[in-house]
Copies of this chain bind each other. A is one copy, B any other.
Amino acid sequence: MTDWIGHARDTLERDGYRVSAPRSAVVETLATLGCSVTAKEIADRLRERGEDVGVASIYRTLELLDRLRLARRVDAAEGVARYEPIDPSGEHHHHIVCESCGAVTAFEDRELEQAIEQLSERVDYAIDAHDVTLRGECPGCRAAGSRH
């Protein structure tokens, strides 16, 4: 995980982009926050640390990372764009989101990946990515007995 930061820096450099301080800060923060991160979360975290970065630069950096396949946009919850680092090994996970409290949990499932792989070969699109989102009630909310 930590060396994703190095990988990202290298890729940026190799592709002729400058590894500026603001960009580095966004990359590091994205790596730290890890999974399903919003632009606002990055901005807040950076502000706390005193290394303020303008929102525009954050968005531009995230878009760049997405374009370079260093990060991906995940469409779990509605309304806000969320990003997460892409592991160069190709390993990835998906998300379960709680419909009551909004909590997001990650999971991996070999069977699911297999089904998607096979499916991808049958369709007439050239598939290069996929997202799966499960929705339900998290253990905490179940215990609280909240029926939406």
Query: CB < 8 Å: which of B109, B127, B131 contacts A119?
Result: B109
In the bound assembly, the distance between CA atoms of A74 and B105 in angstroms comes to 19
Chain B residues closer than 8 Å to A107, beta-carbon distance: 119, 123
Contacts of A15 in B (CB 8 A): none
* Contact residues in B for A111 (Cβ distance below 8 Å): 115, 118-119
| A126-B112 in contact given A73-B78, A131-B132 (Cβ < 8 Å) | no
Whole-angstrom CA separation of A123 from B76 in the bound complex: 18
Cross-chain contact of A130 among B77, B123, B133 (Cβ < 8 A): B133
When all copies of this chain in the complex are counted, the total is 2
Range for the number of chain A residues in contact with chain B: 35 or more
Is A5 an interface residue when CB atoms closer than 8 A count as contact? Answer: no
Q: Does A116 contact B (CB under 8 A)?
A: yes
Taking Cβ atoms with an 8 Å cutoff, the residues of A that contact B are 73, 75-79, 81, 96, 98-99, 105, 107, 109, 111-112, 114-116, 118-120, 123-139, 142
A-B contact pairs, 7 of them (CB 8 A): A96-B127, A111-B118, A111-B119, A125-B134, A126-B142, A130-B135, A132-B133
